[in-house]
Amino acid sequence: MGGVQSCQAPFWCIMSHYPILIEPDELEPLLDDDKLLLVDLGKPESYSQIHVPGAMYLDYPLLLAGTKPASGLLPPEERLAHLAGMLKLDSASRVVAYDDEGGGRAARLAWTLHYLGYQSIQVLNGGIHAWNNEGHPVSEDPVFLDNRQTLPVASHDPTVLATRAYVLEHLDDDGVVLLDARTPEEYAGTKAYAARGGHIPGAKNINWQDTMDPDRNLRLKGASQLQDMLTLRGIDPRQEVITYCQTHHRSAHAWMMLKSLGFTRVRGYAGSWSEWGNDPALPVEQGGS
């Protein structure tokens, strides 16, 4: 899978040559590596019954600000430092994350760590479904994160995050395209979870669930199928792509999908529709597909 290349602060910041996805067959031989950190972001009841041996449980809300209306914004700096400490980013050579829903929560962790400058994180393709259904070892023994440690967050990677101002500034930029990962009903505005329904002007819609393969344990669909979806909507690897949904959960999965296809310029709009749709000063489109 290749090695790593050093970059600037923070001190754990490394440019990874690991692909964003890892298959169960690739992960199993790594389980004895004491520098590998396994993180389960599924439901707590699922974790208590079955998880990858050695996996630690991380409560998904720790990755979110949780404040209304835009609950999906990044948490404050002290919580990010707490997260970095819990995950021991200063000593883990690689983090592998998974969940029980096809990768959305795990992808949000991957996106967050990329924002913190830590790129040596992979998402288990298919998550616990693929792992368990394909006969890999499982455990019921819990592993606890160290909640006492924090690590200073010295810098962030600005190319990972799109703010409301950044999105607004690039609405008429042909080199930037928005990918809305919500359902077609949310995109069209017939179903709304904000003061206004609809989508950000010019955004293209791909429901995140349409990128999963239920016949392959919720893995991403094949690269050619995914590329066809993107090409049909005029999304090109030469463009910068900004993904969003309601709270940057489903769109973190879309971010991961694009990274897996080799897209190099992909941002996540953490505020997503919960921020945009509740701000009456921002433009909205309705209808379309």
pLDDT digits (tens, 9 = 90+) for 159-175: 999 999 999 999 999 99
Distance CA 208, CA 253 (A): 7
For the chain, the structural domain boundaries read: 4-133, 161-276
* Domain covering 4-133, topology: Oxidized Rhodanese; domain 1 (3.40.250)
- Local structure of residue 143 (DSSP, 8 states): -
Catalytic residues: 245
Coil, strand, or helix at residue 139?
Answer: strand
- Measured torsion, CA atoms of residues 199, 20, 96, 85, in degrees rounded to the nearest 10: -70
Same fold, 4-133 and 161-276: yes
DSSP code per residue over 12-28: T-EEE-S-SEE-HHHHG
Q: How far apart are CA 103 and CA 56, in angstroms?
A: 16
Q: Whole-angstrom Cα distance, residue 127 to residue 149?
A: 27
Q: What is the pTM of this model?
A: 0.93
Lowest mean pLDDT among 80-84, 254-258, 272-276, 280-284: 80-84
- Which has the closest alpha carbon to 267: 248, 243, 287, 247? 243
CATH number among 3.50.50.60, 3.30.1180.10, 3.40.50.720, 3.40.250.10, domain 161-276: 3.40.250.10
In angstroms, rounded to a whole number, what is the distance separating the alpha carbons of residues 140 and 274?
37
Q: Comparing 110 with 149, which gets the higher pLDDT?
A: 110
pLDDT, tens digit, for every residue of 35-69? 999 999 999 999 999 999 999 999 999 999 999 99
Whether the Cβ atoms of residue 12 and residue 28 lie closer than 8 Å to each other: no
